[in-house]
Amino acid sequence: MATVAYTRLVTPGGATVYSWQLASGDVGSPVISPGHSDKCVQLFGTFGAAVTLQGSNEAGLPTSWETLTDLQGTAIVKTAAALTQITENPYQIRPSAGAVTSVTVLLLVYH
């Protein structure tokens, strides 16, 4: 298990994409996101277990992470490729992987 740093890309359309490359048991380094109320996440790759999108309102390094939900109120816990809007707007967001082989997580935020 490792904490994986994200890559940040600012798009010409005024959005930012954060990208993590997760392996088995990895967690993503959290993105601080309160200024970005509109968020969408895409996951793809080789899944052997679930990848969960988590959020926390704790400052600093959180000790309590909660599972985020999509617009239908369903937990964002994916075992296959997906693209979904995020309901909550927590202070920090990160992905957390189970026993996956290799999954890319892209978090799109609008300014």
Reported as type and span, the H/E element at residue 56 is strand 51-56
- What pTM was computed for the model? 0.93
Query: 52 with 96: CB under 8 angstroms?
Result: yes
Domains and CATH numbers, the chain: 3-110 (2.60.120.10)
Please state the rounded mean pLDDT for residues 95-110. 92
Percent pLDDT > 70 in the chain is: 98
Closest of 15, 20, 9, 3 to residue 40, by C-alpha: 15
pLDDT tens, 38-82? 899 999 999 999 999 999 999 988 999 999 999 999 999 999 999
